Structures are given as C-alpha cells and as structure tokens.
Structure 1
Amino acid sequence: MVATGPSPDRPHGADSEVGTLRTVMLHRPGPELKRLTPRNNDKLLFDGIPWVSRAQEEHDAFAQALRDRDVEVLYLTELLTETLALEEARERAIEGVTNTLHLGDTLADYLRTALHDHSPAELALFLTAGVRNDEVRGGFGLVTSLMASDDFLIDPLPNLLFTRDSSVWIRDRVAVTSLAMPARRRETQLTELIYTLHPRFAGTGTIHGWQHEYVEGGDVLLMSPGVVAVGVGERTTPAGVERFARHLFADGLAHTVLAVPITQERATMHLDTVCTMVDVDKIVMYPNVADSLQAYAVTAGEGFHAPRGNGDGDERGDRAPGELLVAGAEPFLVAAAKAMEIDTLHQIDTGLDPVTAEREQWDDGNNTLALAPRVAVAYERNDETNDRLEAAGIEVVRIAGSELGSGRGGPRCMSCPISRAPLPLGG
C-alpha cells in the first residue's frame, strides 16, 4: 500500500544528527551487487566483491535493529517502484537512462521502447541492476557489435546501498545532492523522482539538485539546528558548498555553514568517514586528523540575495557583492562550538594507538548513526572505538558489517534520516 504522506507523529524533516530517529530510508542490497566483478568493481567504487546473501543478512539485521527502536524503515526500491507506476515518472526515468552519448540512436531508441513495455517493478530492476549487451533482444547495430557481450548498456548502481549520499533532509526540506563520481550520478536522478512524484512526499520542498555543482550527503553534518558542516574534498567541491550555502540561507534552513577541507583520498572520501555526532555536544572523530581539521565559517552578508527559482533551473540572477561572508580558518572543533553556541564540542577519539585508529577508521569506526542523543549504531568489529564511545556515556547498538563495508560505508552512510524529533531549545 502506498503511503500518501507523513504521519502526524513522524513529520518529515530533521534539524540535527542526533534527534530521536523516527523514519529512515534504506536500500536493501539486491541484484545490483551481483553485477560486481573483479573487472568492474573499481569503476563501480567497491573495494571488493561482497558475498551478497551475507550482505543482505547483515542489512536485514541493521534494519531490524532500527525497528526495535521504533524507527520506521522505508526502502528506496519500494518507493521507486511505487513512483514508476506514474506515467510521468516512467517517462523521466527512461529518458534519463537512455539520453547518453555512449548508446547511439539505434540502441537508445530500442531501449526507450523496450523499457516502456515493462512493469514498474521490472523497470526499477533494470534502472538499478543495469542491462548487459547480451540481455537485449533488439537495437542491434554498430554499438552492440563493437561492445563485449557482457558490457553494460545501462550500468548497475551498487552504491544505492549508501542512501545518505543522494539526499539530505534539512528541517522540512530535502536537498537532492549532486554526486561527483560517474558511477553514481544516476542515483540522485532516481532519488529526485521519488521526492517529487511519490505521494508520500507530495508538497515537499526541494533544494540544490543533481544538475548543480557537486555536494554529496556524506559530507553534510547537521551539527545543531541552524549549523551545517560540509566537507570539501574528493567528492564535494568548494563551488558546490557555495551554492548549497546560498540555498540554505535563502530558505532560512541555516545561519552558519562550516566548510571543512578534508584530504582528497579514498579513506577520507566524506566528512562522515572522519567524524559523526553522537550527542548534542559530542562527536566521534578520527584522531589522526583531529588536530589538523579546519573550518571556514560561512554566513549570509547584509547584501545577500536569495537564488532565483527552487534549485531546478538557472539561478544566477543579480548578485550583490559580499553576499556570503567567509571567516578565516579555525580549528574545526573551535569553529563548530562557536557556531553551535556551546562551550565545548567534546571529541571522542578512536584511541591513542595510531595503527588501531587507522584500521578502525578504514573500517568505518567513525561512521556512526545516532538513534537519539547518546545512542548510536556502529559496526561491531571496531572494538576500540565502541569501547571509547561507551566510556563516554554513549549506548552502542552493534551490528555486523563484514560484507556491507566492502563499498566503504558504515551505518550512517547506509541510512537517510527522513524524520527526526527536533531537539529541545537549548540542546
């Protein structure tokens, strides 16, 4: 049954990383992971070939751990299938996946017709698991002749597992993000379809958009109501943060954006791979970067002009000089505490042993999902990090992740909070 809107006790939106989690969107690992091979896993951004059935078992246990805490779990594929029952959604999805230069006219025309002939569930499968050259029954021509039989005409999307990256809820709006890596760019097109056409999200305001400068959800941390930190590194660009900040200020969603440069490498691809909030004034952080992490506080200047439009079109308009004020770099913990108007943002690190810290950071020890203040989900294998969290008064809900982690992501990466309880005034 298709839900037609949020329930009164679970309104859509979030103003922090730690407010009690009410509703979350996950993606259960599916056939798209079975498309990974040693030949394509690097291109598709996986460090290994996961054991799919075990990954599904681990993910099911993760989802159940959330339900056990009264969290409503929505699945991206189910929402997508329900959305594709609408003709407008089908047209947009098929055009998006066939309007590409590598297919050629003959094959693209065939695929457009063939995809229209399938049910919403079958279309959702093709859009997420992809289509190989040897799986089509027409459109034969030069393109199909020169491609290997097992080459993909439509690439699979194994990174759908990480629903945090393609959208971020900030108060009552959802930011549809723009993903930097070619293997992931179609993910946000599908997410946008869900938020704009599924009855559950009717009337939801959207900002940013997949066609704009790169901003990925794993780089966005809601530090406190009105304060948003955004990592700038391998996936999110300075230009992306600039436009994102304009959207937030124009819609009254934030008063301060902290731009946080991070090392541009695989181990620290997103800000949430080095730090995540676990309480209103506590953050778990990779100690090897704690002393060097800086932040630039961005605020709206007196001459700030709101962007034109709603994020879907040309928003350049007329710009007043100094519309964004950028403060000088400060240590991240200092800049964040100032913006959050608290005395200290307490750091929980992953231990003094640099080797252990590096191992557990690589295994997503810092990538926790807060279920409420002082309650967080974490991978069970990161013993040192979990022990230190518990010593700091954080309840740790441990889950298995040996196979889920092969795509470089932890509990936070695998979850998009759609509804969190607002924090009480004063934190």
Structure 2
Amino acid sequence: MAAAASDSDPAAHPRDDPSLPFASFSLSLSLRTPAASLLSPLTASSPGLSRSFPSGAPGAAGRRRTLVWFRADLRLHDHEPLHAAVGASSSLLPVFVFDPRDFGKSPSGFDRTGPYRASFLLDSVADLRRSLRARGGDLVVRVGRPEVVIPELARAAGAEAVYAHGEVSRDECRAEEKVSKAIEKEGVEVKYFWGSTLYHLDDLPFRLNDMPSNYGGFREAVKGLEVRKVLDAPEEVKCVPMKNVLEPGDIPTLGELGLSAPPAMAQDSKSAAGSNLIGGEAEALERLKKFAAECCMQPNKAVKDSTQNSIYGANFSCKISPWLATGCLSPRFMYEELKKHAIRAIPSGSTPKDGDGTSDAGTNWLMFELLWRDFFRFVTKKYSSPQKTSEVAPATGCTPAPAFA
C-alpha cells in the first residue's frame, strides 16, 4: 500500500521495553487515490475553496448538491465528509478518480503502484460502490487527473460544494491544491476534512509545526487526549439523479491501468491459504471482528509484556494495515472495537500497567500501534508542504536541492 514507515528506531522504541508497542503490522502512511476521464467532454467548473479541516459537520444552512470525493477513505463508517454532506445537502455525488500518474514510475524509477496493490484498490472501490448502491446511492468512477475530473463532474451535477478528506503526503497535498485552483473561479465551496488518524489534528496539544520529531516526545505530548467518537455510516445516501446527465462509469481493469497481473497472482488466488488480500470495507470489518474475537479467546494475543511471547509467530499480527492504508477501516473505529474487548483480553492474574504500558483495562498493544501510525502521518503532514530547504533544516554540504520542492 502507501509508503510503509518503520518504527525500529532503538532510541525511540526499544524492543526490550514492555511499555512500547511492536511494529507488528506495516504502518502505511496512506494510499493516494487516483483520477479519471469522463464519458463525455464537460467544461471545468468549480469553487473558491475553503482549505480548512473542519472539526464538525457543517449545519444544514441550505439544501444543496455536494460532490463527495473519495480518496484514501474507501468506507462509509466514520467518514466526516460524507456525514457532513448528508446533513447539509439535498443530494450527493460520490466520486472516485483513478489518477494515471499513480500507476506510472516514480522519479527514482520505481513503480508507484504494483499489480497487487492496484488489485486491492480495485476491490475496495468495487466494495464501496456496492455499499452505496445498497443505500440507494452510487459511486461515479473515472480515470483521469483529479484537477480535471472533479471540476467537470461538479459542474455537470450542479454541485455547490466539494467535500473530501485531506491527505498528508506531498503528492496528495499537491493534488488538493490543483483541484482547488481548477475550481476556485466557479463559486463552489471546497472543504477538506481530517480523518485518517486516531487523534484529530485539531485536538493536538501543539501546532503541527511544533510537533516533536521523535516518537517518545509525541507520545508524552498526546498522553491523556480523548479519541473522538466514531461517526455512523449513513443509512441512506440520496444521490444526484444521473440519468441523462452522468454515467456511473466502469471500474477499470489492471490492464486499463497499464498493469499486468504476474503469474504469481493467479497462483495465489488458487492457493488454499488464500494469500491474496481482498480489499474493501466489508472485508476489513469482518477481519477486525474475527481478530477481536480471537483476542478474547486467546488473551495473550492482545497483551504484550516482557513475560509474554504469544504475539510472536506467523499469526502474531492482525494484518489489518492494507485496509487502514486505503481507508477501508477507520483507526478510530478499530480503537473503539478493540477497546470493547480489552478488559476480557487481559489475562486473569496479570497486572495492568499505568501510563503507556500494556494498559489498564482499556487498551492493548495493538492500540499503541495506531499511535505509532499517527506519529508517522503527522510527521509526514508536517513536512509535506513545499518549503524552502532553509526553512526545514540548516543547510550543510550534504543538503540536497529543494528536498520538499
């Protein structure tokens, strides 16, 4: 999935310290969702935008049409842009865009998205479409550049607002800026919400620019913060009438994205172990449910201290990272579900620890992995905006040309 971050820094996360979590699953930063070409040529249209990250759903000041741009948030539960749009709009236009640039080569010559990751993404988009259709809505899918597709769709649907989750990496932030610039003259409101971390950006006890650069300092700073409540998935999604205006569009194949499935992928799909991961919110929720149940049946699986080694081995982890990276699963929802099972997951006779240890009747080792994930995402966000090298760190003989240009 998106770039995975390591928590192997011995200074910040010593492996013999029972009060700290293990990186038992990949701490993916995010998956940048792509863009799409329309079925018919449309004229670009769109808004002067608000690039804030609202902390709550806006009031229903007027009944309007809102385009909800799905990105690395392929779910209906705990989705603030969708929740806000449902409350403030008469109808919605849910959109996902496959950006061809996400499937090309990076400046270093590496594939931005390989066939396995792309296949997982296709599964996730298909699952999101099924979920929306089950609630009376639909998902418009396109292949193209978001800064072209989003304004065109907004104009075609007569949308007065565009809601989306803001992301953290440089390329994702640039995509947001391009979309904003493309539609700023059309009078359409644009709002980017925050929703990819356990703790909300607005709740941090420091400005992002002043964030501690090491995990230990970050953990101390956020100690005691409350996790916001999970937003329920909407029971009904009323979409903009698409007949004679817009076609939902087909979900592309790997070949249409310029990728080909390696022989190993076909073999994996036939294996008894089912090594191919299935993308989508439904699969993510089912996996989380099973993992929580296993934690209750095998208490040691949910707790890690210096005397318990039960989390080691082939099945030591929940293996939920791909669904977190694509946003099929909300970290807050994961936290709430695991917290419900935490008391039962702590073995009888064990002594709960205070502070940031294994937890006292409230959390387990896996929840602290979510905190590590928060740390990496906030650090990425901190340095993702284009800055002059001198603003980031003192120049030295080894300082590269604009590191964040």
TM-score, normalized by length of structure 2? 0.30
Greater relative CO, 1 or 2 (CA 8 Å, sep 6+): 2
Query: Where is the strand percentage greater, Structure 1 or Structure 2?
Result: 1
